[in-house]
Structure 1
């Protein structure tokens, strides 16, 4: 995902182009890692001093609904990042310190035997948590 594509998705779904939304998307493009809503608010405050958590959460929820961003939960807190640019099926390694991710192109669902008449799978998520080489030092 990139800012231009994200803005096109918003426009196609009938949402307004605003500088706040564009700046928020540019933050995700720059960071390339999972961010908490608090980190997003702190990064945006210099540009928009009166910005509230409500505005941040509303836009994050919209971006999630439109599949512009991905959401995960670490240590009981939701974290957000741009959706992956690749369309191939993959999962992530996630650094617990810096939030950076790495693709894993192996899927454990291939090993799960699910009978078609017993359970209908609509989706799944597989994440591995740990520390990247930079954060281990």
Structure 2
């Protein structure tokens, strides 16, 4: 997702264009991995000391709710990243060390739904966790 696409979504849902939202969107546009809210605060707070953790967290929740950010949970902590530019259904491998991701083009739902023929599926999320090649080499 691009910053312009994110703004289109925000404005469509009547969210104002603010300096803090612009800062956060630019941060996520440059980030290539999942990050925690505290990592966002540490990164953007250096150049923007007036931005509060509450402001960051509220905006992360809005961005996630509107589909601008992808959200996952790892070790009990929420992690965020800009929604993929890939325009088809896919899943991710997520490195538990550095937060980098790799797209997985296939979906296991075809195998799972065979056993759920009488159920109404409303959605799903499939993620694989481990260490990426770069982090394995650092060990």
Q: Distance in 2 between matches of 1:58 and 1:27?
A: 16
Deviation, structure 1 residue 48? 2.0
- Name the structure 2 match of 1:75: 75
Q: Aligned-residue CA RMSD in angstroms?
A: 1.0
- Name the structure 1 match of 2:132: 132
Q: Distance in 1 between matches of 2:102 and 2:44?
A: 26
Is residue 20 of structure 1 aligned with residue 34 of structure 2?
no
Deviation, structure 1 residue 50? 2.7
- Name the structure 1 match of 2:84: 84
- Name the structure 1 match of 2:46: 46
Is residue 11 of structure 1 aligned with residue 11 of structure 2?
yes
Deviation, structure 1 residue 37? 0.3
- Name the structure 2 match of 1:63: 63
Q: Which runs of 4+ in 1 moved over 4 A?
A: none
Q: Distance in 2 between matches of 1:20 and 1:4?
A: 15
Q: How many residues align?
A: 135
Aligned partner of residue 46 in structure 2, secondary structure = coil
Structure 2 unmatched ranges of 5 or more: none
Deviation, structure 1 residue 27? 0.7
- Name the structure 2 match of 1:104: 104
- CA deviations on 1:18-73 (whole Å, 9 max, x unpaired) are 12111101111111110100000001112221322211111001001110001000
- Name the structure 2 match of 1:33: 33
Q: Distance in 2 between matches of 1:31 and 1:51?
A: 19
CA contact (8 A) 2:20 2:51 kept: no
TM-score, normalised with respect to structure 2: 0.93
Q: Distance in 1 between matches of 2:50 and 2:15?
A: 22
